[in-house]
A = this chain, B = another copy of it.
Amino acid sequence: MSGMYEGAIQDLIDALGRLPGIGPKSAQRIAFHILQSDSEVASALVDSIRVVKERVKFCVLCGNVSEEDECRICRDPRRDNTTICVVEESKDVIAIERTREFRGKYHVLGGAISPIDGIGPEQLRIRELMVRLADAGIVEVILATDPNLEGEATATYLSRLIKPMDIKVSRLASGLPVGGDLEYADEVTLGRAFEGRRDV
């Protein structure tokens, strides 16, 4: 598709096409949308990109996105300081907050251990987690990394590191998705659901 449009519109299509999950067809569609819509649409987008790059940083304590040195959750005095939930990304914090099940603090690793992608423990915010665990009166660490290969490896690595510190370490339950259909569950999930079965 390249080079068919004149300069500027092709440059925009190319820039949009480099964003994750946007193929050449949608890049073209979005570029024409921006071109044809009111200039407020374009300036809202431009301004919000600029503001994010200028203002948004990462919380010095937990690594979550924040516009202050410390994020909203770390600053909140009503949150339980004795429990830390360890997640891979800021979006996982949002997902857990939406459940309203957890009232403790978070720690965002910035990814998961993945030797293929060159991500070892040093590339993640694990040292910062250890500092937090050494300092405060932490009673429990909940490992909420993704239930996939990299997430499991990261959880195993962390639990070996944390258990000797005499802190309770837990992992989110694996099992059947609520509202799902048993026959459509993959065999690993179904196996986990059996393993983790509870008396009723």
**Contact surface of A with B, Cβ cutoff 8 Å:** 1, 4-9, 11-12, 14-16, 18-22, 26, 28-35, 39, 41-46, 48-53, 55-56, 65-67, 71-72, 89-91, 94, 97-98
Contact = CB atoms under 8 A, between A and B. Distances in A.
A8 to B, nearest CB: 5
Nearest to A42: B53
B18 A41 contact: yes
Contacts of A42: 49-50, 52-53
A44 to B, nearest CB: 5
A37 B56 CA distance: 13
A15 B48 contact: yes
A66 to B, nearest CB: 6
Contact of A21 (B11, B26, B98): B26
Contacts of A20: 26, 29-30, 33
Contact of A15 (B28, B44, B97): B44
Nearest to A29: B20
Contact of A53 (B21, B35, B55, B98): B35
Interface-centre pick from A1, A4, A20, A52 (highest chain B CB count, 10 A): A52
A94 B56 contact: no
A32 B90 CA distance: 9
